[in-house]
Amino acid sequence: MGNNYLGNKEQRYKVILFLLLGFNLIFKLLIFYNTNSFYVSEAGSNYGYLQAIEKGMHPMLFQAGYRSILAYIGYFFKSLTGTLGAFFWFQALVSTLSIYILYLICLRLTNEKTSALFAVLLATIFMDYHLLTPVFYYQIFEIFFVLLVVYLVLWMIDGNKPMRSAAVLLVPLIIYISVFFRGTLGYFAWLLIGMSLYFVLRKEYRLFAKLAAAGMITMILFSMLPQGNYKNKNIVSVNDFKFYGHTLYGGDGGEGRFIYEENEARYQKRLNEFMREHNYDSPTIQVRNEFQSREIREFILKSPHKWLWLQARKVAFTFGIVPVRDSLELLSTGKLHMKWYLSAFIIQAPYVIILLGFIVLIVLFFRISDLNNGKFLFLMLVLFYLIASTCLYGHYQERYRHVVILAGILPVSAFYFCRLADRSSMKSIARIKNILLVLILLIIFSHWGYQAYNALVVNKGRYLKAVNQFYIL
C-alpha cells in the first residue's frame, strides 16, 4: 500500500509539473500571437543589426555597448522560415526550459518536490516573464544562462561522482558564452572563488578545489579569449550607463536620462568648463567619457553619503511598484486592447505576491544556522550578486529585476516554503520577528505609496506622457 501510495504521489507531482510547463509554453505563445508591439526596450538595435546582416554586412558581436549575436540567431530562424516567428517560438521554448531548470534548482536545494513546484507556480504567474517572449532582446537568454550555471554549481556541490567534475569545465564555458548575450555573469568567477573559501573553512577540500578551479578557469578563459577580439575597435562605447548610475544627473537619481532641464543645463555647463580646462575643441565620445568618469569620481569622493543613498535608491526603485514600461506597452497595445490601469494590475499583482511572499518567508523563517548549508549559502550569494549586478553596476531599470526574481528570489522562497508547512517551525517564530515583519512591510508599502504618488500626482504629466507614447488613455 505504502509503495503504491508513494508511486501515485510521485506520478501526481510529474503530472502537475508537466501541466505547469505546458501552460507556460502555451501562454507564452498566446502572448506572442496577441502582440502588436515588437520594438520595445532596446530591441531596436537588434532589428537594426538584423537588417544589416540581411544586406550582407557582418557586424561585430560587440558594438559600442550593444551586442549583435541575437541578430545572427534571428537571421538563422528567418532564413529557415521567412519570418521571425520561429525565433519567438524558440524564445518561448528556452523560457519554458528555464522554468524546468528552476524546478531542478529548487529540488536540489530543498529535496522537496512540493517546494520546487511552489517555485514553478510562482514563475508561472510572473507576468513580466511571459511578456518577454515577443521581445527581440537578451533577457530570456540571460535568465536561462544564469539558471543553468546555478544548477550546475549546485550539482557540483551536491556530490563527488566523477561526472560532476565535468561541471568544473562546463560552468566556465557557459559563463563565457553568456557574456555574448548579457554581461550579468561577467564577474561570477569571483563568487565561485569566494564560495570555495567557505568549503576550506569546513575542511571540504574536494569542493574547494572544484569551485576554485571553476573560478580560475573562467578567468583564464576570458584572458585567453578576451571580449576585445569580438569588438569593433573603431567604435567607442559611451559611458552613459555607469554615469547615470553613479551621479545625480539622471531624473530623480539613478535614472537613465536627464528628465529635468536643470540637470541637463548643469551637465552642459560643467562639460564646457571641463573642455576649456583641457583645451578640447569638441565634445567627442572620448571627451564625454573622460568628463563623465571625472564626475563620478568627484561625486563619490566629495559626497560618499549621497552616493550610498543613490545606490540604496536604485535597489528600492528597481523593486518598486511602478510597472515595467515594456510589459505595460506589450499588454496595453495587444489585440485585447486593455486599459493601461488594468494592464498595470495584471502585471504588478503577481510581482507583488512574489516579492511580499519572499519577504514574509525570509523574515519569519531565516536562521543564522541556515548559512551552514552550503547550497543555501551559495543561493544567497547568487541573490546578492544579481542584485548588485542589475541594480548597482549602472543606472536602474525595473526590467532588470527579472533575473533576480527567477534565479534568486524564487529559489530562496522555495527553501523557506518547506518551513511554512511545518507546524513546529510556525510555533517557534519569535514575537520579535512578527514585529520586524510588520515594520518592514510598513516601510515597503510607504515606499510604494510614495512612488505611486510621485508618478501619478507629482509627476503625472511625465508619467502619462510616457504611457501616451504607446496608448491612448
Res. 214: pLDDT tops 90: yes
| Exposure letters 17-51 (e unless 16+ CB within 10 A, then b) | beebbeebbebbbebbeebebeebbbbebbeebbe
Across the range 139-155, mean pLDDT stands at: 96
Nearest to 253 by CA among 316, 302, 298, 297: 316
For 422, left (φ over 0), alpha (ψ -120 to 50), or beta?
beta
Q: Which residues are CB-neighbours of 188 under 8 A, at least 6 positions away?
A: 149, 175, 218, 385
Q: Which residues are CB-neighbours of 319 under 8 A, at least 6 positions away?
A: 355, 401
- In angstroms, the CA 86 to CA 83 distance is 7
- Report yes or no: 188 and 196 within 8 Å, Cβ to Cβ: no
Q: What SS3 class is residue 136?
A: coil
Write down the pTM of the prediction. 0.92
CA 265: distance to chain centroid?
A: 33
Nearest to 402 by CA among 161, 138, 166, 61: 138
DSSP string covering 26-60, please?
HHHHHHHHT------TTHHHHHHHHHHHHTT----
Q: What SS3 class is residue 259?
A: coil
User: All 3 cell numbers of residue 125?
Assistant: 504567474
CB atoms within 10 A of CB 380: 19
Given this model, what pLDDT does residue 29 score?
96
pLDDT tens profile 223-256: 999 988 888 877 888 899 999 999 999 988 999 8
CA 293: distance to chain centroid?
A: 26
- In angstroms, the CA 139 to CA 149 distance is 15
Helices (H), 246-284: 261-277
- In angstroms, the CA 317 to CA 47 distance is 29
Torsion of CA 179, 185, 186, 189, to 10 degrees: -130
Beta bridge partners of 66: 63
Per-residue pLDDT band for 99 (boundaries 50, 70, 90) equals very high
What residue has cell string 515594456? Answer: 326
Res. 471: pLDDT tops 80: no
Across the range 94-123, mean pLDDT stands at: 96
Choice between 84 and 464, residue whose per-residue pLDDT is larger: 84
User: All 3 cell numbers of residue 435?
Assistant: 514585529
Burial class (CB within 10 angstroms; exposed 0-12, middle 13-18, buried 19+) of 82: exposed
Choice between 275 and 461, residue whose per-residue pLDDT is larger: 275
Res. 470: pLDDT tops 70: no
Nearest to 150 by CA among 114, 181, 188: 188
Averaged pLDDT score across all residues of the chain? 90
pLDDT tens profile 20-44: 999 999 999 999 999 887 777 778 8
Res. 472: pLDDT tops 50: no
- In angstroms, the CA 320 to CA 352 distance is 9
What residue has cell string 511554512? Answer: 420
pLDDT tens profile 318-360: 999 989 988 888 888 878 778 888 888 999 999 999 999 999 9
The amino acid at residue 193 is: I
CA geometry: angle 387, 65, 194, nearest 5 deg: 35
Across the range 176-200, mean pLDDT stands at: 96
Run of H or E residues at 120: helix 113-125
